[in-house]
């Protein structure tokens, strides 16, 4: 995983989201999830190409059940866009890079 992507856990989630000075896109994923693996390279690209607009965080739902449950993540990948500590967008499922970027930036 890229150094510009923040790995989140149940223990660090609230602090990282609350302290974010930019919107943060959190990828709720799991190692066994095929669609999660499809969008991982896209998120890596966003982490560098879009770093001036938003940052990327990843949360493994198998290891961090409490946070996934708190945000009612029922299927993965689920991408939640946080701004000022609040969810401003929810994207579910794998999408092509252009479609993902359009949905994210339309909510910024």
Which one of 33, 79, 91, 100 is the catalytic residue? 33
For the chain, list the domains and their CATH numbers.
5-105 (3.40.30.10)
Model confidence over 74-86: pLDDT tens digits? 999 999 999 999 9
Model confidence over 18-77: pLDDT tens digits? 999 999 999 999 999 999 999 999 999 999 999 999 999 999 999 999 999 999 999 999
Establish whether 66 is a catalytic residue: no
Which one of 5, 25, 26, 36 is the catalytic residue? 36
pLDDT, residue 2, reads 67
Establish whether 36 is a catalytic residue: yes
Q: What strand order describes the sheet that includes 78-83? A: 5-8, 55-60, 24-29, 78-83, 86-92
């Amino acid at each position: 995983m890229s150094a510009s992507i923040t790995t989140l856990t149940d223990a660090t989630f609230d602090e990282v989201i609350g302290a974010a000075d930019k919107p943060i896109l959190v990828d709720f994923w799991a190692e066994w999830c095929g669609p999660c693996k499809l969008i991982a390279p896209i998120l890596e690209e966003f982490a560098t190409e879009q770093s001036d607009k938003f940052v990327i965080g990843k949360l493994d739902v198998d290891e961090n059940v409490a946070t996934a449950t708190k945000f009612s993540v029922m299927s993965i990948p689920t991408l939640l866009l946080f701004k000022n500590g609040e969810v401003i967008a929810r994207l579910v499922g794998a999408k092509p890079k252009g479609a993902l970027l359009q949905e994210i930036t339309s909510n910024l």
